[in-house]
A and B are shown apart, each in its own frame.
Chain A
Amino acid sequence: MILLSCESQEPEPSNPMAFKFDSLVSESYELYYSVNPTTKITAYASGQELSYYWSATAGEIFGSGNQVTYSSNPGCCGGNQIVRCIVVDKNNGGLDKEVEIYVGF
């Protein structure tokens, strides 16, 4: 059986105000304290009056907003660390994403 449709093939216009958390991107996914101790991590999201909440399993996070600098803490914890970002939209709750960063010394 063949089904035919008369609906338009054009994509629906995207709503720039729709709440989306597209991606969480780190400049580097491997940090070695003596070589590259920090990396910038950026959250790409859209929505209304967004707030960005950051946390890490270990290490320091500097800055705020949609882009922060993450640094390994050489005195504390090596191995794989998780940096988490929660984006909260004014009307639509929150979405979260994580990046895993390897920390070596």
Chain B
Amino acid sequence: MSASEKNSVKTWIVICLSLFSIVEVYSQCCSPGNPVGGTANLSIVPKQVLRMNTYFRYGYADTYFEGSSKSDFLFVENASYNFLGTILTYGLVGNLNVEVELGYYFNLTQNYDINATKYMLEGSGLRDGVISLKYNFYKNVQKELEFTVGLGAKIPFRKNPQTVNNVELPLDVQSSAMAYGIVAQTFLYKGFIANGLHLFLLNRYENTFENPQEYRYGQALYTSLFVSKALTTHWSLIIQVRDEWRESDQRFGQSVLSSGGNIVFVAPQINYNVLQKWNISVLADIPIFRYYQGTQLSPKYAFSVLLSKEFDFSKKSKSQIK
């Protein structure tokens, strides 16, 4: 594989993983149009290199589903959020990286229509952070094959629910799950450079513990397959198919009826590379299959804008030594 091809693969990995990293947990009862937020940026960076992925995301929902069918049920008329997140990945030693995920909800808004009376509730604030270690177990340049595993902890920035005007907000508009948890991730890459094709398979598992309100979000598993293709030197197209599965939530040790389910998204993405240094991506999330337990508000669409950049501190260290 030539140096330029290696560079190309690296760019694809960064783009795809960055885009997967902005997955959001779908809206459902009692788990906010929220945001526990799946992130899985599993490619690793070399020692003393810092990768920054910063993204903005808007999501909207206005339709209830029961099972796989639309429901005429009406409670929340529509829900939306604006979110800014960043993922910082740093090369510690050899094949080992440390990664930090942070995010802030500018708003998590629900407009209600209850017996023709309109209400509105809105929360905001920091999402739970995640700190992970990632290790590259296998990399074979000739075979264009790579496998990385990550393990981390979810850390809440608040332990009590947010209140507005001295009134406690419901879970659906809380920016935090208010609980610790664990996150495990795997990343598999296979290239077919001869055909200009790159395939990525990513998995992310989240297990959130019970919070002080005795509410526990269900375990979640996100699986994403990316296929990428370069259009020109600067422009590239990525198609992502993503499955999001979540088990039912638990409240006071009992299963919450309208929670949990499965959604499959297709996410077309376009990327622009600036001077081989910056990547700007835009993507839309469109659900193509959904199955919900009980009746739940389902996401209609979401779009994201992502900015990605790497900073090589090893060069600075070397120049300082000289």
Contacts and interface: CB of A to CB of B under 8 A. Distances in A.
Contacts of A71: 112, 114, 119
Interface string A47-76: 000011111101111111000110101111
Interface in B19-77: 28-30, 73, 75
A58 B251 contact: yes
B121 A52 contact: no
A58 B297 CA distance: 17
Interface string B186-202: 00000000000000000
B3 interface: no
A38 B251 contact: no
Q: A interface, how many residues as a size bin?
A: 20 to 34
9 closest Cβ contacts across the A-B interface? A75-B29, A64-B165, A55-B168, A75-B258, A62-B119, A53-B166, A54-B167, A76-B30, A76-B29
- Which bracket fits the contact residues of B? 20 to 34
A74 B251 contact: no
Given A60-B119, A74-B295, A76-B256, 8 more contacts: A53-B167, A56-B168, A58-B251, A68-B167, A73-B29, A74-B258, A75-B258, A76-B259
B125 interface: no
Interface of A: 33, 37-38, 51-56, 58-64, 68-69, 71, 73-77
Contact of A54 (B117, B119, B166, B295): B166
Interface in B232-259: 251, 256, 258-259
